[in-house]
Amino acid sequence: MFALNPAIRPQMAPIAPGVPAIIIDNFYQHPEAIREAALAQAFQPATAMYPGRLATFSGQPSLLKAVEWVKTFVNQQLLPRIPLTRDGERVTRFETLTTDFGIVDTLPQDLAPTQRAPHVDPAPIFGIVYLNQEERGGTAFFRKTDAEQQPDREGYFAERDAGFEKVGRIEGVFNRLAIYPGFIWHSAEVGDWIKSDARVRSPRLTQRLVFVD
């Protein structure tokens, strides 16, 4: 099911001044089947920053193979070009890459305060596959302009608000893999569809890839 497109062509795109991301379009051979199968999994409420529910696959050798391809690509092609450090030491290799699937379905008025603002990831590198044929938004990137100011609005973060300024974005193209540094402030782009039955009928689904060194 998770067979990769043999003709994929990785590209680099800036998401902030001096900070690139890797973009791979048409990543999977059968993205429609992956979306259908993923939505059939048993999703559970997420913790911390994620405004929705998460699920994992089991017994899928093709998924393990796809994850291994992504890890090898990052180790061999990305890390030599984009120096990353953790605790003062350069990251030269990731040993582990975990993956799950996420649905954003939290209503704006139900967001926790920390979910109303951009965040940084604890992982040095983060990957996401957008699995939405309908427009469900991509990922926006920000720089912090006011360390003290906190969001005082209800709902998902706007393009410029509460101490942050938008500096870039990745469009949520169907079947696109994006890999970017986790230290850049970022937030999912969540539009007005979240207030309608679309959040249940045709939810925002992504595959998440978390790199662990």
The more confidently predicted of residues 20 and 179 is 179
Contact assessment for residue 70 and residue 64, using Cβ atoms and an 8 Å cutoff? no
- Distance, in Å, from the CA atom of 71 to the CA atom of 130, rounded to the nearest integer, reads 18
With vertex at residue 17, the alpha carbon angle to CA 15 and CA 20, rounded to the nearest 5 degrees, is: 45
The continuous run of DSSP H or E covering 166 comes out as strand 164-170
Q: Is the pLDDT of residue 205 over 60?
A: yes
200: alpha, beta or left? (left if phi > 0; alpha if psi -120 to 50): alpha
Q: What SS3 state is found at 184?
A: coil
pTM of the model: 0.94
Q: Is the pLDDT of residue 152 over 80?
A: no
Structural domains present in the chain = 26-84+95-212 (2.60.120.620)
Max Cα–Cα distance, the chain, nearest Å: 48
Query: Using 50, 70 and 90 to split pLDDT, how confident is the model at 83?
Result: confident
State the pairing for strand pair 164-170/11-16: unpaired
Query: Using 50, 70 and 90 to split pLDDT, how confident is the model at 162?
Result: low
The rounded mean pLDDT for the chain is 91
- Distance, in Å, from the CA atom of 196 to the CA atom of 113, rounded to the nearest integer, reads 22
